[in-house]
């Protein structure tokens, strides 16, 4: 038995889960921050992004060390190479949380307008995708990972609907164009976050089954 | 690469007295490829390797059932051992040059096969040493003892000696386990080069070596073939949990 190697793998696993948990904190708070245009929460989300970046760098270094020193194979190899991809996606989602927060700060400096009707639902759907992704990593649950991939279509649909809504709003009242542009950016980031969650779900499937999703 | 069968092994069992060392082996070994046998000590991989050129014939109390065919011909029933071993050469764990000059080592086989003419022997020696990627290092000391060079060089001289009788198949039994990493990589490069013209079957304890050079890998455990397939599949995604446990080191 390679006890020290197994301990290294466990530490790696725990750090990925930790990174995912910090991310979940941000996606959970996103709803309230957007709903109430809460600058304080937005700032906290931005600050948390640095924590995620540091963890990403540590995990990356650990993966490279394990590859160099332990020459992992089979499931171990799949797990380590997949983790290197997964942490990039987690880091991107965290970046996008920070990007959305910047728009919350911008919105706070403008006259308040009504948020797009389905924005709350879109965030909920994205938030659930992130949560399910982290859970399916923890539980090595391919079924759950596949629900994440399916949920991406729901988020895409919300994106299209909200785009139309914002387009209507802007045509009717040019005074709200600046706020609408902010919301447009926000939903684009949300849509991208869902894409990254889908990528993670695909890597989890690869870890468990060895099958690489194509496309 | 299309898989063209060189050896076909059917229901092969091997007993040393009452001890069954190989259990019901069924597999095809393919031409122009490197096949690696991996598995813990005592799993039967070397025993199986030796059945391919009938080295086990010499072991007292050995009993073999089932059959192995080479190009469709049964090597136990329809071929004599000498013909077989001319076609199936072998390289061992410890370099074992004969206590004679480098030249005489390589010319040994051809001389036994009746080649006497110096110009022909010169040509065979040079060609074989070149094929074994050792010519440049020894061309100026062909008359020196083969025991006077390094272990890595000795092993390549042994490979040249094997190649000199132009076999079709080369069996390698842990050919680099006694060598340093540089010599090891030279032998690995050489094996990869040689598979264009030869079928190579290698037993190795070095899993990374199997991964680096082989096309197919078979995992042996307690005399059985647990899993056999493309090396890429075995190392990335083995189907059997026992294979997975062995190659990831969660074994014993």
Q: Do B236 and A1 touch (CB under 8 A)?
A: no
DSSP, res B72: T
- Is residue A1 scored above 80 in pLDDT? no
Residue A132 to residue A151: CA distance in whole angstroms: 10
Kindly state whether residue B194 falls inside one of the protein's structural domains: yes
- Is residue B1 scored above 70 in pLDDT? no
Kindly state whether residue B71 falls inside one of the protein's structural domains: yes
> Which residue segment(s) compose the domain that B111 sits in?
5-247
Whether the CB of A68 is below 8 Å from some CB of chain B: the reply is: no
For A1, nearest residue in chain B (alpha carbons): B250
**Residue to substitute from B230, B231, B237, interface A, most A β-carbons within 10 A:** B237
Whether the CB of B96 is below 8 Å from some CB of chain A: the reply is: no
Q: Do B248 and A1 touch (CB under 8 A)?
A: no
- Say which CATH topology domain A3-209 has: Methane Monooxygenase Hydroxylase; Chain G, domain 1 (1.20.58)
User: For position A214, what pLDDT does the model report?
Assistant: 58
Kindly state whether residue B233 falls inside one of the protein's structural domains: yes
Residue B252 to residue B248: CA distance in whole angstroms: 12
- Is residue B57 scored above 90 in pLDDT? no
**Residue to substitute from A68, A73, A78, interface B, most B β-carbons within 10 A:** A73
Kindly state whether residue B235 falls inside one of the protein's structural domains: yes
Contact B152, B179 (CB under 8 A): yes
Residue B165 to residue B152: CA distance in whole angstroms: 21
User: For position B58, what pLDDT does the model report?
Assistant: 83
Give the percent of chain A with pLDDT over 70.
99
Q: Looking at this predicted complex, what is its ipTM? A: 0.78
CATH number at residue B91: 3.40.50.300
Using a cut of 0.90, tell me whether the model's pTM lies above it: no
Considering only CB atoms, which chain B residues are within 8 Å of A74? Answer: 235-238, 243-244, 247-248
Query: Closest partner residue to B250 among A1, A78, A210, by Cβ?
Result: A1
User: For position A212, what pLDDT does the model report?
Assistant: 83
Question: What are the beta bridge partners of residue B229?
Answer: B217
């Amino acid at each position: 038995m390679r006890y020290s190697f197994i301990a290294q793998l466990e530490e790696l696993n725990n750090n990925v889960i930790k990174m995912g948990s910090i991310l979940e904190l941000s996606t959970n708070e996103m709803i309230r921050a957007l709903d109430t245009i809460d600058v304080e929460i937005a700032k906290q989300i931005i600050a948390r992004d640095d924590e995620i970046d540091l963890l990403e760098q540590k995990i990356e270094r650990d993966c490279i060390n394990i590859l160099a020193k332990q020459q992992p194979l089979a499931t171990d190899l799949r797990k380590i190479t997949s983790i290197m991809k997964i942490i990039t996606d987690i880091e991107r989602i965290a970046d996008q949380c920070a990007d959305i927060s910047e728009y919350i700060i911008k919105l706070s400096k403008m006259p308040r307008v009504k948020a797009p009707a389905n924005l709350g639902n879109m965030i909920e759907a994205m938030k659930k995708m992130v949560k399910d992704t982290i859970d399916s990593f923890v539980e090595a649950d391919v079924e759950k990972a596949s629900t994440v991939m399916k949920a991406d279509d729901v988020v895409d649909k919300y994106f299209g609907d909200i785009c139309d809504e914002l387009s209507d709003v802007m045509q009717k009242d040019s005074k709200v164009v600046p706020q609408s542009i902010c919301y447009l950016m926000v939903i684009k980031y949300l849509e991208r976050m869902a894409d990254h969650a889908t990528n993670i779900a695909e890597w989890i499937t690869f870890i468990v089954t060895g099958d690489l999703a194509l496309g | 690469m299309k898989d063209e069968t060189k050896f076909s092994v059917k229901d092969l069992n091997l007993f040393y007295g009452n001890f069954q060392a190989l259990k019901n082996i069924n597999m095809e070994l393919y031409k122009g490829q490197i096949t690696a046998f991996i598995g813990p000590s005592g799993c039967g991989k070397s025993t199986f390797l030796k059945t391919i050129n009938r080295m086990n014939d010499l072991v007292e109390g050995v009993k073999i059932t089932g059959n192995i065919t080479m190009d469709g011909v049964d090597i136990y029933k329809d071929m004599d051992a000498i013909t077989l071993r001319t076609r199936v050469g072998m390289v061992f764990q410890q370099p074992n040059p004969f206590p004679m000059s480098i030249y005489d080592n390589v010319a040994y086989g051809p001389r036994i096969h009746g080649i006497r003419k110096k110009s022909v022997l010169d040509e065979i020696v040079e060609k074989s040493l070149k094929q074994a990627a050792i010519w440049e290092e020894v061309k100026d000391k062909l008359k020196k003892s083969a025991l006077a060079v390094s272990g890595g060089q000795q092993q390549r001289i042994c490979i040249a000696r094997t190649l000199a009788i132009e076999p079709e198949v080369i069996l390698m039994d842990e050919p680099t386990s006694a060598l340093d990493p540089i010599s090891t990589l030279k032998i690995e490069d050489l094996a990869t080069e040689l598979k264009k013209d030869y079928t190579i079957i290698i037993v190795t304890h070095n899993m990374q070596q199997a991964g680096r050079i082989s096309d197919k890998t078979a995992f042996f455990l307690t005399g059985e073939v647990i899993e056999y397939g493309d090396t890429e599949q075995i190392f990335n995604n083995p189907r059997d949990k026992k294979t997975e446990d062995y190659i990831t080191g969660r074994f014993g």
